[in-house]
Structure 1
Amino acid sequence: MKYTEVEQKFRLLSPAAELKARLTALGATPGRPARQVDTYYNAPHRDFLDNEVVSEWLRVRVEDGAASVNFKRFHPIASPVKTHCDEYESAVADAEAVRRLLDSLDFTELTVVDKTREEWHLDGIAVAFDTVAGLGDFVEFEFKGDADTVPQATARLEAFISTLDAALGPRVHLGYPHLTLGLE
């Protein structure tokens, strides 16, 4: 499942400190907060926004002086509730060069998601606390362990979330670019 992402996202209604305290008690390893500026692009040969349900995103991320390019295709393609995505990501040495390359190939900028992320790790799960400009606070749980199938990874992720005994807000089935573009 190297190129498959399984995650669940929730709005945070209570202070993140409560969930962080629970993670600390379980032995989670906290990371340091980092600012991530994600610029999303549309392709000239295939309009990602042309379908009723947007299922593909191309992103360039800049984070603390590092950069990456990423493409995600969410599954099931036409369903508003996604179970997982194909994810292809690679570090790049020069984000501005990638932006100029995409512009030269007639890719167009769709939206920018500016967020602060603090990522914790426990038992093959990444727990990301996100504060997204204009959108608010979220928590994402991403399966990073070993699994043979998406249902197996999903079951392990859901079991982990249930052990937290945390009051999470409503589950969010859309990505941050969906939300910034008003594609709810």
Structure 2
Amino acid sequence: MKYIEVEQKYRLLSPPEGLKAALAARGAEPGTPSRQVDTYYNAPHRDFLSGEIVSEWLRVRVEDGAASLNFKRWYPLEAAVKTHCDEFESTVADAEAVTRLLGALDFTRLTTVDKVREEWLTDGIAVAFDTVAGVGDFVEFEFKGEADTVEEATARIEAFVAGLDIDLGDRIHAGYPHMTLGITPATA
């Protein structure tokens, strides 16, 4: 499942200490928190925001002196609730050069998501605690293990979340750029 991302996101209902304790009990350890500044762009040849449902994002991420270029296409394309996405990401040596390149090709900035992420890894699941400026606190569960299908990866995430025995509240079906642009989950 290379180049496919399967994840689930929840808005944190309470401080994350209980969830972190449950992860530690499973042998997980926290990574070092890092600041990620993600700038999202719209393409001149295809307006990502033109449809009723937004399913594609192009971003440049700067994180702790490193940078990457990323494109995601979420599926099902016309569904408000997505199951997975194609994810094509590569590191870049010079984020400013990529930003200037996109501008020279008439890509326009849509929004910037500024967040602090602390990631834990256990049982083939990356658990990311995100504090997103102006948006709030979230937890994402991303499948990082081996699976033959999206359905298998999804089932593994769901079993993992259920096994934590923590009330996470309702799942969020919108990405951070949706939230910063004011696109509601019902149309995300």
TM-score tier, shorter chain, comes to over 0.9
Offset at 1:170? 1.9
Paired residue secondary structure (1:138): strand
Paired residue secondary structure (1:99): helix
Q: Distance in 2 between matches of 1:101 and 1:25?
A: 46
Q: Distance in 1 between matches of 2:23 and 2:90?
A: 29
Paired residue secondary structure (2:98): helix
Q: Distance in 1 between matches of 2:29 and 2:86?
A: 27
2:156 corresponds in structure 1 to 156
Unaligned runs of 5+ in 2: none
TM-score of the superposed pair, with normalisation by structure 2: 0.97
Whether the aligned pair in 2 keeps the contact of 1:29 and 1:121 (CA below 8 Å) is: yes
Paired residue secondary structure (1:30): coil
Q: Distance in 1 between matches of 2:28 and 2:126?
A: 9
Q: Distance in 1 between matches of 2:120 and 2:46?
A: 36
Partner letter of residue 119 of structure 1? E
Instruction: Give percent identity, aligned residues only.
Output: 74
Partner letter of residue 38 of structure 2? D
Q: Distance in 1 between matches of 2:99 and 2:23?
A: 38
Offset at 1:96? 0.2
| Alignment map for 1:38-53 (pairs within 5 Å) | 38-53=38-53
Paired residue secondary structure (1:54): coil
1:119 corresponds in structure 2 to 119
Q: Which moved more, 1:170-179 or 1:101-110?
A: 170-179
| Alignment map for 1:1-184 (pairs within 5 Å) | 1-184=1-184
Q: Distance in 2 between matches of 1:170 and 1:37?
A: 26
Paired residue secondary structure (1:180): helix
Paired residue secondary structure (1:177): helix
Partner letter of residue 40 of structure 1? Y
Q: Distance in 2 between matches of 1:153 and 1:123?
A: 12
Whether the aligned pair in 2 keeps the contact of 1:14 and 1:167 (CA below 8 Å) is: no
Offset at 1:115? 0.2
Q: Distance in 2 between matches of 1:75 and 1:29?
A: 32
Partner letter of residue 149 of structure 1? T
Give a deviation string over 1:119-154, Cα, whole Å, max 9, x none.
000010000000000011000000000000000100
User: Runs of 4 or more off by more than 3 Å in structure 1?
Assistant: none
Unaligned runs of 5+ in 1: none
